[in-house]
Structure 1
Amino acid sequence: MKNIKWETLDRLKNSFSELDSHDRYIYMPVINLAYYPAEPYRCNYYGIGVLQEGEIIFHIDLKEYHIQAPAIIFADTTSIKRWDKTRRSYEMETILFSEDFLQDKLVENNVLTAFSDLSNLGGFVSELSDEEFDNFKTIFRIIEHANQIATSHHVEVVRGMVYSMINEIAYLYEKYGNKTKALNTIDLRFRQAVAHYCKTERSVTFYAAHLHLHPKYLSQVVSAETGLTASEWIQNQVVLEAKILLQDSSLSINSIAENMNFPDASTFGKYFKRYEGITPKQYRNTL
């Protein structure tokens, strides 16, 4: 039975020696979709990419983005991602980085707030004006130069540029109609834990214990910050995970129920219908 793949920085570094990789980040002057799985995947890193020419189709969770250059893409660690590899007419520059890389040094509050905002979205895509595109190109040129000269301070330069891009992307998110708000880091830690454990753990009590919090307090924080209760976040993630698996026609509903740690297909079907309004079979028939 297949699980949704986990992609890691280490796997990319070890598998593709041509990548310009450093301590907890990878700079890609030119993206090659061969680096990524053909099927949906999660990853242990964040990514910022500037689409410079052409077009590409990118999926974040179950939402499809048809992206035309110039555009910016931000992707986090909790969302399920998939690239349409049939598109060949594109040029994109990308940097992938771990959360440790981002927070290895003292970070200003505005950067942490922007980072938490964007991470809570699961991902963000925006087309760019000429001026906005030039701003991101300038930042990437500084990253490229820092990597080429590789001084004792080049990692600090790259980190500073990533901070700048996070603020720029948060500004774009605010500018195009979705006012950002300060998010408690508890919310991000909770979402990350749900992404990891939702197949086996579906109770608020488990996640509260995992985060060393009282269940009532966790629920209050998550509800205040997101508008959804902790239980609703868990339920939504379980259903999303099931939907991704149901899109693979080679997997039987029985095997999916087993993979999702339900006692049987009937229990899985009742759970899915309770929150989605239709059975797993009916959902599959709509695809």
Structure 2
Amino acid sequence: MKNVKWETLDRLKTNFKELEANEHYIYMPFIDLVYYPSEPYRANYYGIGLLEEGEITFYIDLTEYTIKAPAIIFVDTTSIKRWDKTRPTYEMVSILFSEDFLQDKLVENNILASFSDLSSLGGCVTQLDDSEFERFNTLFKVIDLYANSDSSFHIEVVRGVIYSMMNDVAYLYEKYGNVTKNLPSLALKFREAVAKHCIEHRSVQFYASYLHVHPKYLSQVISLETGLTASEWIQKQVILEAKILLQDQSLAIGTIAELLHFSDQSTFGKYFKKYNGISPNAYRQTL
């Protein structure tokens, strides 16, 4: 594992012809973990999955989730994901979609607010009661009906269903006590940029230039909206990347330092210990 792998809609479409795919979304009427990498990965798409039966274990940014049906799962593009493939005893229906598809004909501000809420989390998991499960089950049945439809309006129908799901997921997340804050566009773009570029770039100045704002203004917005400074967000993401790589016992710590663009192993070790409290080797021994 040289670095965290990126999964794309295009790769899924190319490698698995049986998937019901459109230009900007893929509908999965069932889950087959062969579609996903064995190692941790990021994706260039968002996903909503309805766990219908059984129990599933997966990871979002190193946090383990073991959840029993019925449940709804949302994941975004900034989080690092990994599926436990050792216990394939569940049934799940999913829709994967690009941000462009979601926002192409966005007309309702509440959809954007829900999208902002959920994207600020990296992902979320919510158990469902019977009536909540039936709502999502019905929405997925509509997608199933239109996924291969000849109707000239089928794309708008699918997009409309996803809008409904986004609102409902955000509503349920708040209903069960997990109230989130709307993140403004700048904060979301910053998070996405850090997730993509933190291996090569760890200065606030780089991200300010990348986002065409003043570094002081960027820091103020990020601190106000997230409770962390821009520097802390960058450090947090670098440490996460390091932890992911340290899980691969075949990678020497010196090699990991090189992959993360540190000048040498000693510099990496000091950085990791400063922001994580223990050395890379000590962390590896806890795995």
Whether TM exceeds 0.5 here: the answer is: yes
Q: Displacement of 1:181 after TM fit? A: 2.2
Alignment of 1:1-287 (within 5 A): 2-287=2-287
Q: Which amino acid aligns with 2:68?
A: Q
Alpha-carbon displacement from aligned partner over 1:231-283 (angstroms, at most 9, x marks no partner)? 00000000000000001101010000000000000000000001001000010
What are structure 2's unaligned runs of at least 5 residues? none
Whole-Å Cα distance in 2 between the matches of residues 30 and 170 of structure 1?
24
Q: Give SS of 2:73's match.
A: strand
Whole-Å Cα distance in 2 between the matches of residues 172 and 190 of structure 1?
26
Q: Displacement of 1:75 after TM fit? A: 0.4
Q: Give SS of 2:55's match.
A: strand
Q: Is the CA contact 2:20–2:148 (under 8 Å) kept in the aligned structure 1?
A: no
Alpha-carbon displacement from aligned partner over 1:2-37 (angstroms, at most 9, x marks no partner)? 111100000000000000000200000011100000
Whole-Å Cα distance in 1 between the matches of residues 106 and 73 of structure 2?
25
Q: Displacement of 1:89 after TM fit? A: 1.1
Q: Is the CA contact 2:28–2:93 (under 8 Å) kept in the aligned structure 1?
A: yes
Q: What value does the CA root-mean-square deviation take over the aligned residues?
A: 0.8
Whole-Å Cα distance in 1 between the matches of residues 73 and 261 of structure 2?
34
Alpha-carbon displacement from aligned partner over 1:37-57 (angstroms, at most 9, x marks no partner)? 000000100000000000110
Q: Give SS of 1:79's match.
A: coil
Whole-Å Cα distance in 1 between the matches of residues 150 and 4 of structure 2?
36
Q: Give SS of 1:131's match.
A: helix
Whole-Å Cα distance in 1 between the matches of residues 41 and 83 of structure 2?
10
Q: Which amino acid aligns with 1:68?
A: K
Alpha-carbon displacement from aligned partner over 1:188-218 (angstroms, at most 9, x marks no partner)? 1001000110001000000010001111111
Whole-Å Cα distance in 1 between the matches of residues 147 and 113 of structure 2?
27
Q: Which amino acid aligns with 1:105?
A: K
TM-score by length of structure 1 reads 0.99
Q: Displacement of 1:182 after TM fit? A: 2.1
Whole-Å Cα distance in 1 between the matches of residues 3 and 240 of structure 2?
13
Q: Displacement of 1:106 after TM fit? A: 2.6
Q: Displacement of 1:146 after TM fit? A: 1.2
Whole-Å Cα distance in 1 between the matches of residues 238 and 59 of structure 2?
18
Aligned residue pair count: 287
Alpha-carbon displacement from aligned partner over 1:128-179 (angstroms, at most 9, x marks no partner)? 0001000000100111111132311000000000000000000111011122
Whole-Å Cα distance in 2 between the matches of residues 219 and 64 of structure 1?
30
Identity level (%) = 68
Whole-Å Cα distance in 2 between the matches of residues 281 and 107 of structure 1?
51
Whole-Å Cα distance in 1 between the matches of residues 179 and 47 of structure 2?
22
Whole-Å Cα distance in 2 between the matches of residues 198 and 2 of structure 1?
15
Whole-Å Cα distance in 2 between the matches of residues 21 and 92 of structure 1?
17
